[in-house]
């Protein structure tokens, strides 16, 4: 597609539920990033893929967060046993090479109740 | 640790006023610098970027930014704002030793009154 597509746009989860957030990057984009944006804050880095390889996961806040990109295109961010502090907008971005300027998706707004 | 600081959290201007949004970063090495804009209900979009060369960078929609290495700053400017510039603005830095991740500032909300 023409842009980065994320689904769902909105997700409400009960505390303790598992959620899966999907990102479809721009076709051919090698690099894929996930960011977390809390209300009133700038996006914070979670993890980075180059093709199917997860090269940096230093931003994942706990072992409840897991990301994958098995075929080097679509990526899924999974959050297990969601907690209220996980409520945020989760942004996906892709680029041809890291650092050259990214295209961001519209994000998934996760609300944990 | 790398960080980005945006001094103004909320700016209110009248149309045709001049704009300058401050951005300072802390990183000792070579950096790439970005300004992103997020219009209401839309995704983050790249306004402009600096990698090397002329420290005065021109972006879309009449925006420009100046990289001042000695001050670790990358301020965003526009001579005359329009109501349609109402949005949130984020400064971001990418360090050359990074894997490509961006470090963002907290953002500045710009409200332009017609």
Give the pLDDT confidence of B50-83 residue by residue, as tens digits.
Answer: 988 999 999 999 999 999 999 999 999 999 999 9
Residue A9, number of CB atoms within 10 A of its CB: 11
Chain B CB within 8 Å of residue A1 CB: no
pLDDT at position B31: 86
pLDDT at position B96: 61
- The tokens for B83 are 């109501």
Which residue is associated with the tokens 């879309």?
Answer: B60
Euclidean distance between CA atoms A28 and A26, whole angstroms = 6
Euclidean distance between CA atoms A4 and B5, whole angstroms = 28
- The tokens for B45 are 């979009």
Instruction: For A11-42, write each residue's pLDDT tens digit.
Output: 999 999 999 999 999 999 999 999 999 998 99
Which of these ranges, A1-5, A17-21, A79-83, has the smallest mean pLDDT?
A1-5
For residues B45-69, one letter each, b for 16 or more C-beta atoms within 10 angstroms of the residue's C-beta and e for the rest, the string is: ebbbbbbeeeeebebeeebbbbbee
Whether the pLDDT of residue A50 is over 70: the answer is yes
Q: With CB atoms and an 8 Å threshold, state whether A42 touches B4.
A: yes
* Positions of E strands within A1-113: 5-7, 10-13, 19-24, 31-37, 44-50, 53-56, 65-68, 75-79, 88-95, 103-104, 108-112
Q: Please state, rounded to an integer, the average pLDDT across all residues of chain B.
A: 92
pLDDT band at A94 (very low <50, low <70, confident <90, very high): very high
Whether the pLDDT of residue B95 is over 80: the answer is no
Chain B residues within 8 A of A33 when measuring between CB atoms: 100-102
For A17, A77, A86, A93, B42, the CA distances from A81, given in Å and listed in that order, are 5, 13, 10, 25, 29
Nearest-Cα distance to chain A for B9, in Å, is 9
Q: Shortest CB distance from A101 goes to which of B43, B49, B103?
A: B49
Q: Please state, rounded to an integer, the average pLDDT across all residues of chain A.
A: 93
**Is A38:A27 a contact under the CB 8 Å cutoff?**
no
Nearest-Cα distance to chain B for A99, in Å, is 5
3-state secondary structure of B32: strand
**Rounded mean pLDDT of B15-41?**
92
Chain B CB within 8 Å of residue A79 CB: no
Q: How would you class B9 by CB atoms within 10 Å of its CB: exposed for 0-12, middle for 13-18, buried for 19 or more?
A: exposed
pLDDT at position B97: 62
Euclidean distance between CA atoms B65 and B23, whole angstroms = 10
Q: With CB atoms and an 8 Å threshold, state whether A43 touches B90.
A: yes
Backbone phi and psi for residue B69, each to the nearest 5 degrees, phi listed first:
-60, -40
pLDDT band at A99 (very low <50, low <70, confident <90, very high): low
Please provide the size of chain A in residues. 113
pLDDT at position B25: 94
């Amino acid at each position: 597609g023409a842009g980065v597509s994320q689904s769902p746009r909105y997700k409400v989860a009960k505390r303790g539920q598992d959620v899966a957030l999907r990102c479809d990057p721009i076709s051919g984009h090698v690099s894929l990033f996930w960011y977390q944006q809390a209300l009133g804050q700038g996006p914070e880095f979670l993890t980075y893929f180059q093709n199917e390889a997860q090269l940096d996961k230093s931003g994942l806040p706990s072992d409840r967060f897991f990301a994958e990109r098995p075929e080097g295109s679509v990526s899924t961010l999974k959050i297990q046993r969601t907690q209220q502090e996980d409520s945020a907008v989760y942004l996906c971005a892709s680029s041809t090479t890291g650092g050259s300027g990214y295209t961001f998706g519209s994000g998934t707004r996760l609300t944990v109740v | 640790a790398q960080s980005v600081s945006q001094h103004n959290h909320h700016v209110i201007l009248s149309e045709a006023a001049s704009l300058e949004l401050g951005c300072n970063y802390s990183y000792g090495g070579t950096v790439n610098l970005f300004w992103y804009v997020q219009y209401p209900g839309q995704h983050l979009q790249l306004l402009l970027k600096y990698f090397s060369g002329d420290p005065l960078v021109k972006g879309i929609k009449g925006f420009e930014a100046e990289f001042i290495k000695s001050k670790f700053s990358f301020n965003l400017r526009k001579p005359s704002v329009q109501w349609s510039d109402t949005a949130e603005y984020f400064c971001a830095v990418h360090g050359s030793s990074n894997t490509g991740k961006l470090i963002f500032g907290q953002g500045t909300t710009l409200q332009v009154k017609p």
